[in-house]
Structure 1
Amino acid sequence: MATLWLNTSIQSCNNSDNLKTYQHHIYAVVYSVILAPGLLGNILALWVFRIYIRETKKAVVFMMNLAVADLLQVLSLPLRIYYYLNDMWPFGLPLCMFCFYLKYVNMYASIYFLACISVRRCKLIMHPLRYNSSKQKGDLLVCGLGWLLVCLCCLPFPLLRNPSYDSKIGPNDSFPCFSELPLRHISSPAAWFLLVTAELLGFIVPLILVIVCACKTAGSLKNTTVGAVPDRGEKRRALKMVLSCAVVFLVCFAPYHVTMPLDFLAKANALSNCSLRDFVQRIHPLTLCLASLNCSLDPLMYYFTTNEFWRQLSKTETPENMAFSRRLSCITGEDLDDD
């Protein structure tokens, strides 16, 4: 059976050193920029959603899981920044492989939960009477199955990497990690199967769901459906949420999934033109950075499209603060005025 040897080195084009320096600079700058807003935004989102999860049924469970996925990626960014700034990885191969794996888990978990949010908001607008608080149990099941599916489907990314290194590499030597890990021998049919599956199930099908939900939600503003939400303001808020999911898809994930097959061909030395190969391998890191940008964009989506989020965030008193005040009053013997 024919096999491909996929390697990050370029056999016939002598630009690997400049390309590596360029990629490291791009990754270090972008990851440093998104670290702080991604960390603060997703921690804040989890805090708000945890407090008010019982007050609404508008896909909050899915948004919480999306925030968890984003937060996991953000927590791995300091290690990535260290590697790209210092051009060495002193933390061992297992942690390198885990961070590499976590990147793809975050990407496809984000895609999965963005699709779930869009579908849930659309169904809530079209058929509100079918959804009540008991539906959250179903949402938890969907989230659990989603995490399992994503984690299993992303296993080929680290498993296809070759973990064997030259024993002469010392502790202070450059230690390749992440996308610079060499790839194993793989048959051509298997390689294309994995690539097509990732494109189809990981991006195209969820994107179609989001676009269909956006069209149906927009159509609900013009047409009156039996059993649908009559409040046009609520429909507009739902449309804003679904459109935001579509924008995140198109801005963050569409460019990456366009360049991913081209990058695959470049690393497989299937592109004979050196200029084209160099262009692909310079543009692909930018699209990968755009895919990472979603961990900072998602909290903005929560704030500007989720009425409960900014309304509760703007309150001076939250349920936790009120409970703390009551406990404090019991200790001090002071009376609280009822509003």
Structure 2
Amino acid sequence: MDIVNTDYDVSWPTDVPDEGPCNIYPNSAEVLTQAYIHSVICAFGLIGNILVIVTYIFYKRTKTMTDVYLFNVAVADLIFVVALPLIIYNEQNSWLMGSVACKMLRSAYSINLYSGMLLLACISGDRYVAIVLARRSFGSRSKTLTYSHLISSTVWVFAGVLTLPTLIYTELLKEEDLRGSESFTVTCQLSFNKDDTAKLVKLMVPSFQMAIGFLLPFLVMVFCYSCIVCTLLRAQNSQRHKAIRVVLAVVVVFIMCHLPYNVTLLIHVISLFKERSCLSEKIIFQVLAISRSVAYLHCCLNPILYAFIGVKFRSHFLQILSDLWCFSKKYIYSARSSRGTSDICNSGLMKTSEGSNNISSFSA
């Protein structure tokens, strides 16, 4: 499995004279480790983000701008965690699913990166308005919801535009298998007919990822949450310390997940202008693979940080478990008490829906 050679890892041929072809493929131990890590990420990412989506659809009607953004973040993360196992399977089997799957699956990461990060920046902006500028009036609830849907749609369109280079230039390629298992292997990566185009796109893709997918959201989050912390420190509220801990956790986790990969990617892009030895190339790709796996973890942590950490949202999650247990009892004991269990399930769902009007997400 070649987890290293992906559409967002940029590289030119690194053959150094008299050294022969450079084998940057991971060894079997690295492949197995990455497979386990990505399996865990897929499992927790699927569970967490599906629960967020189900909660918003059936239990918690979206009433605030943050709710709309959180729902879209969960959708973006879900797209990626669904695509990740398919990418792994194809890489293990020389991309059996063909060129269309190659383009679509490789584009899934870019879509998740841009849309997810920009939506997190939108959440921080909305929290800034709600807490720091709380005394000002910003229109009716219906108007703010209209704005949030419009902003979310704009983010998705913008993410799609930024993903176009990956979608256009990603192709299936036959390469010599330096691991010796086969005469050649089929890989899915960026492919170009002209050197000038290759240099432009291979610099443009990671540069946009670092600037728009990390630096811009990072700066917005630091500014907004710094102002929020200052406002909470001045507030006479017994819950302010807990709220500050939540804010700090959001920023720290974001930095820990994405900063290592983006720093490594920046070093790699700079090194493209220099002659690189095979050993240094192997090291940089290993660090990229490890730091990228850490960045993947953020899609699992988003539901915890932005949704389940809130007391009221957590109550909806417990209601989901209660209703699942109730519906299972309905089918298991249908012959004995199907009517009673059905009434319990329906009333539980109705209570949750009715009580969701005054709930605000991202509460401490």
TM-score bracket for this pair, using the shorter chain length:
0.7 to 0.9
Residue 40 (structure 1) aligns with? 47
The alignment yields a C-alpha RMSD, in angstroms, of 3.7
Work out the CA distance in 2 between the residues paired with 1:163 and 1:90.
Answer: 10
Q: Is the 8 A contact 1:259 1:284 kept in 2?
A: yes
Deviations, residues 125-173 of structure 1 (Å, cap 9, x unaligned): 123353552211111111000000011012112333355669xxxxx96
Counterpart Cα distance in 1 of 2:289 and 2:308: 29
2:295 alignment counterpart: 291
Structure 2 counterpart of 1:136: 145
Superposition deviation, residue 101 in structure 1: 0.6
* Shift in alpha-carbon separation, 1:209–1:152, aligned structure 2, 3 A: same
Give 3-state SS (helix, strand or coil) of 1:175's partner.
Answer: strand
Tell me, in whole angstroms, the C-alpha distance in 2 between the residues paired with 1:236 and 1:50.
31
Cα–Cα, structure 1 residues 194 and 43, in superposed 2: closer, same or farther, change >3 Å? Answer: closer
Residue identity opposite 1:44 in structure 2: L
TM-score, L = length of structure 1: 0.77
Gaps in structure 2 of 5+ consecutive residues = 1-9, 176-182, 331-338, 352-364
2:116 to 110, 118, 121: 110
1:197/1:103 CA distance change after superposition, 3 Å: closer
CA distance in 1, matches of 2:262, 2:81: 21
CA contact (8 A) 1:253 1:291 kept: yes
Q: Residue in 1 aligned with 2:158? A: 149
C-alpha deviation, 1:189, in angstroms: 5.9
Give the corresponding residue for 2:82.
Answer: 75
CA distance in 2, matches of 1:274, 1:55: 52
Q: Identify unmatched segments of 5+ residues in structure 1.
A: 1-5, 167-171, 225-229
1:136 corresponds to which letter in structure 2?
A: L
What letter corresponds to residue 113 of structure 1 in structure 2? L
Question: 1:24: Cα distance to partner?
Answer: 4.2
Checking the alignment, whether the CA contact within 8 Å between 1:58 and 1:124 is kept in structure 2 is: no
State the match for 1:227 in structure 2.
Answer: none
- The sequence identity of aligned pairs, in percent, is 23
Question: What amino acid is the match of 1:39?
Answer: L
Report if the CA contact (8 A) 2:114-2:209 is conserved: no
Change (3 A) 1:269 1:212: closer
Alignment of 1:312-323 (within 5 A): 312-315=316-319
| In 2, Cα distance between equivalents of 1:59 and 1:278 | 42
SS at match of 2:109: helix
Greater shift in the superposed pair: 273-282 or 249-258: 273-282
Q: 1:189 to 1:72 in 2, by over 3 A?
A: closer
Distance across 2 between alignment mates of 1:114 and 1:292: 15
Which amino acid is the alignment partner of residue 276 of structure 1?
S
Q: Give the Cα–Cα distance (whole angstroms) in 2 for the partners of residues 312 and 74 of structure 1.
A: 23
Q: C-alpha displacement at 1:29, in angstroms? A: 2.7
Summarize the Cα distance change of 1:173–1:274 in structure 2 as closer, same or farther, 3 Å threshold.
closer
Letter in 2 for 1:62: Y
1:303–1:309 CA contact under 8 A, matched in 2:
yes
Amino acid in structure 2 at the alignment position of 1:251? M
Instruction: Give the match for residue 198 of structure 1.
Output: 209
8 Å CA contact 1:210, 1:242 repeated in 2:
no
TM-score (norm 2): 0.72
**Is 1:211 the equivalent of 2:215?**
no
**2:196 maps to amino acid:** I
After superposition, where does 1:10-21 map in structure 2 within 5 Å? 10-12=14-16, 16-17=22-23, 19-21=25-27
